[in-house]
Amino acid sequence: MENILPALKISLLVASTATFMIAVGGLFFAYVLARHDFRGKHLLDALITIPMVLPPTVVGYYLVILFGREGLIGAPLFELTGWSFIFTWQGAAIAAFIVALPLMVGVSRSAIEAVDEDLIQISYSLGKSKRETFFRVILPLARGGIMAGIVLAFARALGEFGATLMVAGNIPGKTSTLSLSIYTAFQTGDDHLAKKLALILTAISVAVIYLASKWTRS
């Protein structure tokens, strides 16, 4: 158990933090992409989607370039605070955020696009601002898709491996998530532990997929 609990704790912390950022940021991007036309829309869409098709290690590599101590964001951050994302659980959360964001944006964007345009226009005509219309019409009607997007993103964040390994390493008790611990256990010949960890991850993922499909249907 002593090998499982810390990994489970780190996994849940990383996945929950990433999911919170994904819920807020993903909903914003989904709304902007679904309801607005602007220059660079396709570029933004491609930038959000590309981590889905790139190997996670490549995403991790770019994140290190960005957030490493010598990185574009990492260097000034380190200079200011003496702290770096690399080899921390926060770094793992950033990696999970980038990798799982496209799932949330894709699913919730479709849900927002599926809201009847007449309902949005009648809301404006009844005096409601874009913001009010979003919260009172679009959000409730797209709720199923948005919840499914959040849940799927959580599942993806929970299972993240490659980018997390590149950015946060595999430090037991600090950055070693369930997925990373499975790899370590398997490499060191602890098949029993690997099996337990794999079953836990599988059980969580099945529960999450069940919830997502339930919400999508509703």
Do 164 and 95 form a contact (C-beta atoms < 8 A)?
yes
Number of residues that bind another protein (CB under 8 A): 16
Task: Round to whole Å and give the CA distance between 200 and 4.
Answer: 9
Among 3-11, 69-77, 99-107, 117-125, the segment contacting another protein (CB under 8 A):
117-125
Task: Round to whole Å and give the CA distance between 70 and 77.
Answer: 10
Q: For another protein, which residue of 118, 189, 217, 218 counts as binding (CB under 8 A)?
A: 118
Q: Does 129 bind another protein (CB under 8 A)?
A: yes
Q: Which is nearer to another protein, 195 or 214 (CB)?
A: 214
Q: Does 35 bind another protein (CB under 8 A)?
A: no
Task: Round to whole Å and give the CA distance between 183 and 201.
Answer: 13
Q: Does 112 bind another protein (CB under 8 A)?
A: no
Site for another protein in 137-196 (CB under 8 A): 137, 140-141
Tokens of 178: 């369930």
Q: Which is nearer to another protein, 64 or 138 (CB)?
A: 138
Q: Which is nearer to another protein, 79 or 118 (CB)?
A: 118
Burial-class residue 6 by CB neighbours within 10 Å (0-12, 13-18, 19+). middle
Tokens of 57: 């290690």
Among 62-70, 78-86, 136-144, 202-210, the segment contacting another protein (CB under 8 A):
136-144
Do 145 and 108 form a contact (C-beta atoms < 8 A)?
yes
Q: Taking the complex as a whole, how short is the minimal distance between the CB of residue 141 and another protein, in angstroms?
A: 6
The 10 Å Cβ neighbour count of residue 1 is: 7
Kindly list the residues in this chain that would bind another protein in the complex (CB under 8 A).
116, 118-119, 121-129, 136-137, 140-141
